[in-house]
Structure 1
Amino acid sequence: MSAALDLAGRLRVRPGAPLAQALHSSRRDWAGRLGQGQPATALPGLLASLFNLCSHAHRLCAQLAIAAARPGAMAMPGDAAQRLRQETAQEHVRRIGLDWPRLLGPADGHAQGAALQALQTCPLLRPAAKGDEPWPQALDWLQRECLHMPATTWLRAWQACGADWLLDWGTRHGGWLPALVRGAREADSGRALDMARALRAHGQDDQLRTLAAALALKPGFAMQPLWHGACAHTGPWARLHSADDGLPLTPWALLGSRLAELVRLCLPDGPGQGAGWLRHGALHTADGQGLAWVEMARGLLVHQVELEPDVPVVRACRVLAPTEWNFHPAGEVARRISALDATLPAGLRTGQLNLLMAAFDPCVPFEVDAAPAVEGEVAHA
C-alpha cells in the first residue's frame, strides 16, 4: 500500500456481516490536524492537495469559508458557478469512464477499452484556451459517445420514467455505456432510497447554523456525522433543485441520477441546467468563523474555518465530505452491505457490492474482507 493511499485512507467491507462489522473506514481528520496554524491564504491550496481527487471543490469551499469567517481575509472567486460546473462535469466523466467499466463491466476488459477510447476525445478533459467555451463540444461528445441520442430527449424521459427509462435506453442502444448500465441491472437490490434522509442541510440558514454548531462542538462529528440524530445520504439526487425527488432510486437507478446530472451540466445555462444547476454558498456563523458548502460530484461538501482574532491564521479547520455521510458505519451503504445475502453465488454478490460502490462513489479505494464475522467483534470506524 503506497504512502498516498495510507494518507487518504480506504474502506474495508464485509458483505453479509452484522452491521457493526460490515464497513470500516481508515480515513482520518487530516484537515483538522494540518490546517491549524496555517495562513488563511494557504489553506485552500493545502486542502486541494490533501483531497486531490476532489481538489477543485475543496479549494472553492475553503475560499468561501475563509471569506465568510472574516471579510477581506480571502478574495471571493468571481467565476465560482462556472468553475464548479466544469470541474464537477469533469469528475462525473472520469468516474463514469474509469470506475464504471472497472466495477460494472465484464472481466474481458472490453468495456474499459471502449470507455478509455471515448475519454480520449472528451472536450472536457482537454486543456482549454482561456475564454474557450467547451459546452457545445461537450454536449455533442456526450450525445455521440455516451447517450446515442439527443441529450434533452434522454433527460425528459429520465425525469418522466426514471429507472424504467434507464432500462429501456440500455436495452435499445449498443454502445459501451448503455451496455454497462444494462449489465448492472441484475445486481440491483430493488430497494429504493428513503428520500427523507437525503441531506439538504444547506437549504436554510438555521439548518446550516445547526450543522456549524455540531461541527464545532461535537468531537469526531466530521468523521461520523448524523443529521437530526440519524444517518443521511448525499449525491446528485439530493440537490437543492431536487429534480429526481419523485423517482424511486435504487442503487442501480442512482447510476441514472449521476448520468442525468452530467447531461444537465452540459446543457446551455438556464434555470436548473448548465451553471444554474449546482448551488454553493457561505455563512458567517460566529466571530471569526465561517461555514461554506458546495454541491459537488459526490454530494454536499462542507468546510468550517475559524480564524485567530488578530491575524489571518487558521485556528480550526473542519471538513465534512460526502464519503463520511454515505459510508458512515451505520449509514446507507453499510446497511446495504450488511444485508447482502452470503448464500448468493460469489459473482452476483460481488456485482451487488460493486454496484453499491459505483452508485455511492467513495473518494477512497475499498477492499473486501472475506474473513468470517466474529461474534462480539466491533468495527473500529
Structure 2
Amino acid sequence: MTIGADLGGLGPGAISIVAELADDRVCSVRVRSSRPMRLTRLFLGRPAAEIPPLAGRLFSLCGLSHAFAASCALAAARGTQPNAAPQNLLALDCERLAETLRALAAMAEDAVPPAALREALALTRELAAGQSADRRGIVARLRAETATLGLPHDPASAAPAAAPFGELWRALERSPAIAATAPDALRPEDDALVLEGIKTRGESFAAAPSIAGRAPETGAFARHWRETEFLRGALCARFRARMIELAQLLQRLETGSADDASRSSALAAREAYCAVETSRGDLYHWARLAPDDRIEDYAIVAPTEWNFHPAGPFVATLLGARIPRAEAARTITRLAGLFDPCVAFRIEVREAAHA
C-alpha cells in the first residue's frame, strides 16, 4: 500500500521522504533531496560586492539571512568589520518570525485565515524595511495579528483553543505519540568541523553535511528543547519550541533589542566564513577571494541539509515510531513540517516488503 501526502509540488528543489511500516511501526526511512546544490558556482569570478544581493535573490526563503551571511563573510575575508547595524539585526528577527509563522500556517492548513497571515507577513516586511518611525505601533499591530492566530503573550501559556494554532496544538496532541528526545544540537563549537568539511569535501559536504559519530540538529527545537515538555511526544514538543521562538522574537521586536546571532571570522588571508541563525537553524557562508576581490571559491551549508540528512535527526526521530497505517501519512507530514525544510516535500508511506 502506498499513501502520498504533499506540501507543495515535488520537483526541482524538493525533498522526497519514503517511510516503510511493518506491524504499524516505522522500520525504514529514506530521504532524497533534489535541491540544486551547485548554485554557488554562479558566484565564481564575480566581484565580491555583487554576492550579497545575488544571494538574497537566489534564495527566496531567508533571503535576508543569506545576504547578511554573505556580506559578513566577505567583510571578514577583506579584513573589515561586518555591518551588524541594529536595523539589519532587527530585519533578521523579522525574517525569522515571518518564516516561522509561514511554516506553522502551512501545517494548520485551512484553519489560518489567509488575510490574517498576509497582514502579519506584511507587517514583518514593513518592520524589516525600517522606513517607518512608528516601530512600536507596527509591533503592536503585529502582536494583535499573531494573537488572532493563537500566539499567547506568555510563551508558557497554551494557545487559545479556538484560534488556529490552538486547533493545531489539539490535533498534534491527538496524533500518534512519537518519542521526544534531546537533540544533538549543532553548536558554535562545531564551526571548525563544519569548515573543515567545506574545505575538504566541498559541494558533497554542503549537500549532506555530517560530523563523525553524530547526527546534529539545528533550528528552533535545538535552541529551545530544554523549555519544552517531552511527555506529550515529539510533535507537541517541537510545536512548543516554535511558539517559544515566536514569543521571544516578538518580545525583542517590542524592546528593539535584537541580538547579533551571527559568527564570522577570517580563517586565512582573503578567506572567511559567517554563520547566522535563521528560523530553520544555522546557515553557513564560506568565501575565498582572489587578489582582485573576485570570488575564487564559495560554499553554503543550509539548515535543511543537517535536519534532513539521510542519517540525520528527522530520520532518527521517525525510525522505530509506532504509527497506525491510517494515520501515518498525516503524522509524518506534520513531523516533517515541524522540522521545517526550506523546500517542498513529499511523503510516501509503504508497507515493508516482508510485512
Gap regions ≥5 residues in structure 1: 103-108, 159-168, 376-381
Q: Does 2:323 match 1:322?
A: no
- Secondary structure of residue in 2 paired with 1:53: coil
CA contact (8 A) 2:78 2:270 kept: yes
Q: Structure 2 matches for 1:76-95, cutoff 5 A?
A: 76-78=83-85, 79-95=87-103
- Secondary structure of residue in 1 paired with 2:218: coil
Q: Does 2:66 match 1:66?
A: no
* Paired residues, number: 331
Q: Structure 2 matches for 1:186-205, cutoff 5 A?
A: 186-195=174-183, 197-200=184-187, 202=188, 204=189
CA contact (8 A) 1:14 1:337 kept: no
- Secondary structure of residue in 2 paired with 1:237: helix
Amino acid at match of 1:34: L
Deviations 1:300-351 (A, max 9, x none): 111111111x111111111111100000001111234443557x232x1122
- The 2-side partners of 1:20 and 1:32 are apart by 33
Identity %: 25
Q: Structure 2 matches for 1:210-359, cutoff 5 A?
A: 210-219=193-202, 220-239=204-223, 243-249=224-230, 250-268=234-252, 275-276=257-258, 279-308=261-290, 310-341=291-322, 344-346=324-326, 348-359=327-338
Pick closer, same or farther for the CA change 1:34–1:137 going to 2, 3 Å. Answer: same
- Secondary structure of residue in 2 paired with 1:81: helix
Compute the displacement of 1:246 (Å).
5.0
Report what 2:114 is aligned to: 116
CA contact (8 A) 2:19 2:350 kept: no
- The 1-side partners of 2:144 and 2:228 are apart by 27
- Secondary structure of residue in 2 paired with 1:256: helix
Pick closer, same or farther for the CA change 1:6–1:345 going to 2, 3 Å. Answer: closer
- Secondary structure of residue in 2 paired with 1:52: coil
Pick closer, same or farther for the CA change 1:268–1:214 going to 2, 3 Å. Answer: closer
- The 1-side partners of 2:238 and 2:164 are apart by 18
- Secondary structure of residue in 2 paired with 1:15: strand
Pick closer, same or farther for the CA change 1:262–1:287 going to 2, 3 Å. Answer: same
- The 2-side partners of 1:372 and 1:173 are apart by 36
TM-score, structure 1 normalization: 0.77
Report what 1:209 is aligned to: 192
Q: Structure 2 matches for 1:122-141, cutoff 5 A?
A: 122=120, 124-125=123-124, 127=126, 130-132=131-133, 133=135, 134-141=138-145
- The 1-side partners of 2:271 and 2:339 are apart by 31
Amino acid at match of 1:266: L
How big is the alpha-carbon RMSD for the aligned residues of Structure 1 and Structure 2? 2.8
Compute the displacement of 1:355 (Å).
1.4
User: Structure 1 residue aligned with 2:104, among 96, 112, 119?
Assistant: 96
- The 2-side partners of 1:63 and 1:260 are apart by 29
Compute the displacement of 1:10 (Å).
1.0
Q: Structure 2 matches for 1:30-41, cutoff 5 A?
A: 30-41=38-49
Compute the displacement of 1:268 (Å).
4.4
Gap regions ≥5 residues in structure 2: 1-8
Deviations 1:345-376 (A, max 9, x none): 32x1122111112210001111234566679x
- Secondary structure of residue in 2 paired with 1:358: helix
Deviations 1:153-192 (A, max 9, x none): x22x26xxxxxxxxxx25x621222012211222253411
Deviations 1:92-122 (A, max 9, x none): 222222x1223xxxxxx4x1xx431322432
Compute the displacement of 1:38 (Å).
1.9
CA contact (8 A) 1:57 1:84 kept: yes
- The 1-side partners of 2:256 and 2:218 are apart by 20
Report what 1:179 is aligned to: 167
TM-score, structure 2 normalization: 0.83
Q: Higher strand fraction: Structure 1 or Structure 2?
A: 2
